[in-house]
Amino acid sequence: MIDRIRASQTKDALLQDLYEMRGRIPLSFEVFPPKSSDLCMALHHTVDQLAPLAGRGFSVTMSSGGATRDRTVDTAAAIATRTGRPVMAHLVSLGLSRDAVLNTADDLWARGIRRILALRGDRPKGESGGLPPGFDHASELVEALRTRHDFEIAVAAHPETHPEAETLDQDIGYLKRKLDAGAGSAFCQFVLDPATYSRFLEDCGQHGVDEPIVPGLMPLERWPRLKRFARMNGAMVPDWLPTFRPRRDHART
Protein backbone atom coordinates (compact mmCIF):
# COMPACT_ATOMS: atom_id res chain seq x y z
CA MET A 1 0.00 0.00 0.00
CA ILE A 2 1.33 3.39 -0.92
CA ASP A 3 0.82 6.61 0.99
CA ARG A 4 3.07 8.89 -1.03
CA ILE A 5 5.73 8.46 -3.72
CA ARG A 6 8.38 11.13 -3.46
CA ALA A 7 11.73 10.41 -5.11
CA SER A 8 11.43 10.12 -8.89
CA GLN A 9 13.97 7.29 -9.01
CA THR A 10 12.12 5.33 -6.37
CA LYS A 11 8.78 6.10 -7.99
CA ASP A 12 9.86 4.89 -11.43
CA ALA A 13 11.37 1.68 -10.07
CA LEU A 14 8.32 0.99 -7.94
CA LEU A 15 5.89 1.66 -10.77
CA GLN A 16 7.87 -0.68 -13.00
CA ASP A 17 7.54 -3.46 -10.43
CA LEU A 18 3.83 -2.78 -10.03
CA TYR A 19 3.23 -2.87 -13.78
CA GLU A 20 4.90 -6.27 -13.86
CA MET A 21 2.68 -7.48 -11.01
CA ARG A 22 -0.65 -6.17 -12.25
CA GLY A 23 -1.42 -9.11 -14.50
CA ARG A 24 -0.83 -11.58 -11.66
CA ILE A 25 -2.04 -9.81 -8.52
CA PRO A 26 -5.07 -7.48 -8.32
CA LEU A 27 -3.91 -4.36 -6.49
CA SER A 28 -5.57 -1.60 -4.51
CA PHE A 29 -3.85 1.46 -3.09
CA GLU A 30 -4.49 3.14 0.25
CA VAL A 31 -4.14 6.92 0.46
CA PHE A 32 -4.50 9.52 3.19
CA PRO A 33 -6.84 12.50 2.69
CA PRO A 34 -4.62 15.50 1.89
CA LYS A 35 -4.40 18.42 4.32
CA SER A 36 -3.73 21.21 1.81
CA SER A 37 -4.39 22.18 -1.79
CA ASP A 38 -0.76 21.45 -2.72
CA LEU A 39 -0.98 17.96 -1.25
CA CYS A 40 -4.32 17.50 -3.00
CA MET A 41 -2.70 18.26 -6.35
CA ALA A 42 0.13 15.84 -5.55
CA LEU A 43 -2.38 13.14 -4.65
CA HIS A 44 -4.29 13.65 -7.91
CA HIS A 45 -1.04 13.27 -9.84
CA THR A 46 -0.24 10.08 -7.93
CA VAL A 47 -3.65 8.46 -8.38
CA ASP A 48 -3.54 9.28 -12.10
CA GLN A 49 -0.34 7.23 -12.34
CA LEU A 50 -1.64 4.40 -10.16
CA ALA A 51 -5.12 4.13 -11.69
CA PRO A 52 -4.06 1.78 -14.53
CA LEU A 53 -2.60 -0.55 -11.89
CA ALA A 54 -5.49 -0.34 -9.43
CA GLY A 55 -7.59 -3.28 -10.51
CA ARG A 56 -9.22 -3.30 -7.08
CA GLY A 57 -9.32 0.49 -6.87
CA PHE A 58 -8.33 2.76 -4.00
CA SER A 59 -9.08 3.15 -0.31
CA VAL A 60 -9.09 6.38 1.69
CA THR A 61 -8.26 6.45 5.40
CA MET A 62 -10.11 8.24 8.21
CA SER A 63 -8.76 9.16 11.63
CA SER A 64 -10.45 8.34 14.93
CA GLY A 65 -12.75 11.01 16.29
CA GLY A 66 -13.79 12.24 12.86
CA ALA A 67 -10.94 14.74 12.43
CA THR A 68 -10.58 13.86 8.74
CA ARG A 69 -14.24 13.03 8.20
CA ASP A 70 -15.02 15.67 5.54
CA ARG A 71 -11.66 15.25 3.82
CA THR A 72 -12.14 11.49 3.67
CA VAL A 73 -15.56 11.85 2.04
CA ASP A 74 -14.33 14.51 -0.41
CA THR A 75 -11.16 12.59 -1.30
CA ALA A 76 -12.99 9.32 -1.87
CA ALA A 77 -15.55 10.98 -4.13
CA ALA A 78 -12.87 12.90 -6.05
CA ILE A 79 -10.78 9.78 -6.71
CA ALA A 80 -13.83 7.84 -7.86
CA THR A 81 -14.78 10.61 -10.29
CA ARG A 82 -11.23 11.18 -11.47
CA THR A 83 -10.22 7.57 -12.08
CA GLY A 84 -13.45 5.65 -12.59
CA ARG A 85 -12.05 3.02 -10.23
CA PRO A 86 -13.93 1.63 -7.23
CA VAL A 87 -13.10 3.44 -4.00
CA MET A 88 -13.44 2.13 -0.46
CA ALA A 89 -13.73 4.70 2.33
CA HIS A 90 -12.62 3.92 5.85
CA LEU A 91 -15.36 4.64 8.39
CA VAL A 92 -14.07 4.89 11.97
CA SER A 93 -16.62 5.00 14.77
CA LEU A 94 -14.38 5.73 17.77
CA GLY A 95 -15.20 9.01 19.46
CA LEU A 96 -18.32 9.67 17.38
CA SER A 97 -21.98 9.25 18.19
CA ARG A 98 -24.00 6.68 16.29
CA ASP A 99 -25.83 9.47 14.47
CA ALA A 100 -22.56 11.09 13.40
CA VAL A 101 -21.20 7.81 12.06
CA LEU A 102 -24.37 6.95 10.18
CA ASN A 103 -24.65 10.48 8.79
CA THR A 104 -21.15 10.03 7.39
CA ALA A 105 -22.26 6.76 5.83
CA ASP A 106 -25.20 8.61 4.27
CA ASP A 107 -22.84 11.24 2.86
CA LEU A 108 -20.59 8.57 1.35
CA TRP A 109 -23.57 6.85 -0.24
CA ALA A 110 -24.86 10.15 -1.64
CA ARG A 111 -21.41 10.82 -3.17
CA GLY A 112 -21.42 7.48 -4.94
CA ILE A 113 -19.16 5.50 -2.59
CA ARG A 114 -20.38 1.93 -2.27
CA ARG A 115 -17.49 0.29 -0.40
CA ILE A 116 -16.70 0.83 3.26
CA LEU A 117 -13.99 -0.50 5.55
CA ALA A 118 -15.82 -0.53 8.89
CA LEU A 119 -13.45 0.17 11.80
CA ARG A 120 -13.92 0.88 15.46
CA GLY A 121 -10.53 2.60 15.69
CA ASP A 122 -7.79 2.44 18.30
CA ARG A 123 -8.64 3.42 21.84
CA PRO A 124 -6.44 6.07 23.48
CA LYS A 125 -3.77 4.58 25.71
CA GLY A 126 -5.07 3.93 29.20
CA GLU A 127 -8.73 4.02 28.17
CA SER A 128 -10.45 0.63 28.41
CA GLY A 129 -14.12 1.40 29.02
CA GLY A 130 -17.02 1.65 26.65
CA LEU A 131 -17.52 4.48 24.20
CA PRO A 132 -21.15 5.58 24.62
CA PRO A 133 -23.15 6.70 22.80
CA GLY A 134 -21.23 5.33 19.83
CA PHE A 135 -20.44 1.87 18.54
CA ASP A 136 -18.38 -0.10 21.04
CA HIS A 137 -17.40 -2.77 18.52
CA ALA A 138 -16.88 -2.92 14.77
CA SER A 139 -19.41 -5.77 14.56
CA GLU A 140 -22.10 -3.36 15.79
CA LEU A 141 -21.06 -0.85 13.14
CA VAL A 142 -21.27 -3.52 10.44
CA GLU A 143 -24.79 -4.45 11.52
CA ALA A 144 -25.90 -0.82 11.40
CA LEU A 145 -24.34 -0.20 7.99
CA ARG A 146 -25.91 -3.34 6.58
CA THR A 147 -29.39 -2.04 7.34
CA ARG A 148 -28.57 1.55 6.36
CA HIS A 149 -27.51 1.11 2.73
CA ASP A 150 -26.47 -1.70 0.42
CA PHE A 151 -22.75 -1.14 1.02
CA GLU A 152 -20.03 -3.64 0.22
CA ILE A 153 -18.52 -3.85 3.70
CA ALA A 154 -15.03 -4.97 4.67
CA VAL A 155 -13.46 -5.17 8.12
CA ALA A 156 -9.96 -5.29 9.60
CA ALA A 157 -7.98 -8.46 10.32
CA HIS A 158 -4.82 -8.78 12.39
CA PRO A 159 -2.49 -11.67 11.42
CA GLU A 160 -0.26 -10.88 14.41
CA THR A 161 -3.15 -10.33 16.86
CA HIS A 162 -4.86 -7.07 17.81
CA PRO A 163 -3.22 -5.44 20.87
CA GLU A 164 -6.46 -5.69 22.86
CA ALA A 165 -6.94 -9.43 22.20
CA GLU A 166 -5.49 -11.90 24.68
CA THR A 167 -4.82 -14.59 22.07
CA LEU A 168 -4.90 -15.00 18.31
CA ASP A 169 -7.80 -17.45 18.66
CA GLN A 170 -9.78 -14.82 20.54
CA ASP A 171 -8.95 -12.24 17.89
CA ILE A 172 -10.08 -14.53 15.08
CA GLY A 173 -13.31 -15.03 17.02
CA TYR A 174 -13.83 -11.26 16.93
CA LEU A 175 -13.08 -11.27 13.20
CA LYS A 176 -15.67 -13.99 12.62
CA ARG A 177 -18.22 -11.97 14.59
CA LYS A 178 -17.66 -9.01 12.26
CA LEU A 179 -17.99 -11.19 9.18
CA ASP A 180 -21.10 -12.89 10.52
CA ALA A 181 -22.59 -9.43 11.13
CA GLY A 182 -22.56 -8.80 7.39
CA ALA A 183 -19.04 -7.97 6.20
CA GLY A 184 -18.00 -9.73 3.02
CA SER A 185 -14.21 -9.56 3.33
CA ALA A 186 -11.36 -8.53 5.60
CA PHE A 187 -8.26 -6.43 5.02
CA CYS A 188 -5.10 -7.14 7.01
CA GLN A 189 -2.83 -4.72 8.72
CA PHE A 190 0.31 -4.72 6.60
CA VAL A 191 2.27 -7.92 7.03
CA LEU A 192 5.97 -8.37 6.22
CA ASP A 193 6.30 -12.15 6.52
CA PRO A 194 4.41 -14.29 3.96
CA ALA A 195 4.55 -17.27 6.33
CA THR A 196 2.71 -15.26 8.99
CA TYR A 197 -0.06 -14.43 6.53
CA SER A 198 -0.32 -18.05 5.36
CA ARG A 199 -0.58 -19.35 8.93
CA PHE A 200 -3.24 -16.75 9.66
CA LEU A 201 -5.32 -17.96 6.71
CA GLU A 202 -5.04 -21.53 7.97
CA ASP A 203 -6.04 -20.50 11.50
CA CYS A 204 -9.02 -18.55 10.16
CA GLY A 205 -10.12 -21.55 8.13
CA GLN A 206 -10.07 -23.70 11.26
CA HIS A 207 -12.45 -21.18 12.87
CA GLY A 208 -14.87 -21.39 9.96
CA VAL A 209 -13.82 -18.15 8.27
CA ASP A 210 -14.03 -18.58 4.51
CA GLU A 211 -14.46 -14.97 3.36
CA PRO A 212 -11.57 -13.35 1.43
CA ILE A 213 -8.76 -11.99 3.61
CA VAL A 214 -6.66 -9.47 1.70
CA PRO A 215 -3.04 -8.86 2.78
CA GLY A 216 -1.76 -5.34 3.32
CA LEU A 217 1.64 -4.62 1.78
CA MET A 218 4.12 -1.78 2.16
CA PRO A 219 6.83 -1.01 -0.43
CA LEU A 220 10.35 -1.32 0.93
CA GLU A 221 11.27 2.30 0.27
CA ARG A 222 12.77 3.70 3.48
CA TRP A 223 14.01 1.53 6.32
CA PRO A 224 13.29 4.04 9.12
CA ARG A 225 9.67 4.41 7.98
CA LEU A 226 9.14 0.68 7.60
CA LYS A 227 10.63 -0.11 11.01
CA ARG A 228 8.57 2.63 12.64
CA PHE A 229 5.34 1.34 11.10
CA ALA A 230 6.23 -2.22 12.07
CA ARG A 231 6.82 -1.15 15.67
CA MET A 232 3.58 0.83 15.81
CA ASN A 233 1.51 -2.04 14.43
CA GLY A 234 3.27 -4.94 16.13
CA ALA A 235 4.40 -6.42 12.82
CA MET A 236 7.27 -8.89 12.91
CA VAL A 237 10.22 -8.06 10.64
CA PRO A 238 11.55 -11.38 9.28
CA ASP A 239 15.28 -12.04 9.51
CA TRP A 240 15.70 -12.19 5.75
CA LEU A 241 14.10 -8.81 5.03
CA PRO A 242 17.11 -6.61 5.96
CA THR A 243 19.10 -8.33 3.20
CA PHE A 244 17.01 -6.39 0.68
CA ARG A 245 18.10 -2.84 0.01
CA PRO A 246 15.47 -0.10 -0.34
CA ARG A 247 14.70 0.98 -3.88
CA ARG A 248 16.20 4.40 -3.24
CA ASP A 249 19.58 2.79 -2.49
CA HIS A 250 19.39 0.77 -5.70
CA ALA A 251 18.58 3.90 -7.67
CA ARG A 252 21.71 5.63 -6.42
CA THR A 253 24.11 2.85 -7.41
DSSP state of 166: S
- Burial label, 22 (beta-carbon count in 10 A; 0-12, 13-18, 19+): middle
Least Cα distance to 152 among 112, 103, 203, 190 occurs for 112
Choosing from 20, 30, 140, 166, which is the catalytic residue? 30
Query: C-alpha distances in angstroms, 235 versus 168, 216, 228?
Result: 14, 11, 10
For residue 30, what is the enclosing H or E element? Answer: strand 28-31
The whole-angstrom distance between residue 150's C-alpha and the CA centroid of its chain comes to 20
**Residues in contact with 68: Cβ distance below 8 Å, sequence separation at least 6, in sequence order:** 32, 33, 61, 62
* 30 given a catalytic annotation: yes
**Catalytically annotated residues:** 30
